[in-house]
Chain A
Amino acid sequence: MIYLDYTANTPVDSEVLNKFVEVENKFIGNPNSNHQEGKKAKEELAKITENIASLLNVEPSEIIYTSGASESNNLAIKGITDISQGNHIITTKLEHSSVFAPIEELKKKGFVVDYAPLDKDGKINISQLIKLIRPDTVLIAICLVDGELGIIQPINKIAEEIKKVSDCKIHIDGTQALGKIKIDFKNIDTMSFSAHKIYGLNGSGILFKRGHLKLNPQISGGMSSSLYRSGTPTLSLNSAFYVAVKKAIENQDKRFSDVLEKNKNLREFFKQFPKVKINSPQNAVPHIINLSVEGIKGSVFQRKLDSYGVCVSVKSACSSDGLPSRAVTALGNSERTALSSWRISLSHLTTWEEIEQFKEIFVKLV
Chain B
Amino acid sequence: MNNKKVLIAMSGGVDSSVTVYLLKQQGFDCIGTTMRLYRNETISQGNFKTCCSEKDMEDASEVAFDLDVPYEIVDFTDDFQKQIIEKFIKVYENGGTPNPCIDCNRYMKFEKLLNIALEKKCDLIATGHYAISEYSEKHGRYILRKAKDLTKDQSYVLYNLTQDQLKHTIFPLGNLEKTQVREIAEKQGFVNSKKHDSQDICFIPDGDYFKFIKKYTGKTPQEGNFIDENGKILGRHKGIISYTVGQRRGLGIASDAPLYVKKLDMANNNVILCKNEGLFSKTLIADDINLISVEKITEPMKIKAKVRYRQKEQPATVIQIDENRIKVEFDTPQRAITKGQAVVLYDDDIVVGGGTISETESDLS
Contact = CB atoms under 8 A, between A and B. Distances in A.
Interface residues of B, number: 16
A297 B65 contact: yes
B231 interface: no
Contacts of B54: 318
A321 interface: yes
16 contacts: A297-B65, A316-B58, A317-B57, A317-B73, A318-B54, A318-B57, A318-B73, A321-B72, A321-B74, A322-B34, A322-B57, A322-B61, A322-B71, A323-B72, A336-B65, A336-B68
Interface string A329-363: 00000011001000000000000000000000000
Given A300-B62, A317-B57, A322 B68 contact: no
A305 to B, nearest CB: 16
Contact of B70 (A316, A321, A335): A335
Interface string B257-283: 000000000000000000000000000
Interface residues of A, number: 13
Nearest to A322: B73
Interface string B291-324: 0000000000000000000000000000000000
Contact of B73 (A297, A299, A320, A335): A320
A100 to B, nearest CB: 15
Interface in B47-92: 54, 57-58, 60-62, 65-66, 68, 70-75
A181 to B, nearest CB: 34
B218 to A, nearest CB: 27
The winner among B61, B70, B73, B74 for most chain A CB atoms within 10 A is: B61
Interface string A304-333: 000000000000111011110000000000
B72 A297 contact: no
Contacts, number: 38
The winner among B60, B65, B73, B75 for most chain A CB atoms within 10 A is: B65
A65 to B, nearest CB: 26
A300 B191 CA distance: 10
Contacts of B60: 322
Nearest to B55: A318
Given A320-B73, A322-B34, A322-B71, A339 B65 contact: yes
Nearest to B32: A322
Nearest to B75: A321
A174 B30 CA distance: 41
Contacts of A300: 62
Interface in A272-300: 297, 299-300
Given A318-B57, A320-B73, A322-B73, A297 B62 contact: yes
Contacts of A321: 72-75
B58 to A, nearest CB: 6
Contact of B61 (A297, A320, A336): A297
Contacts of B72: 321-323
B58 A317 contact: yes
Given A316-B58, A318-B58, 8 more contacts: A297-B66, A299-B62, A317-B58, A317-B73, A318-B57, A322-B60, A336-B68, A339-B61
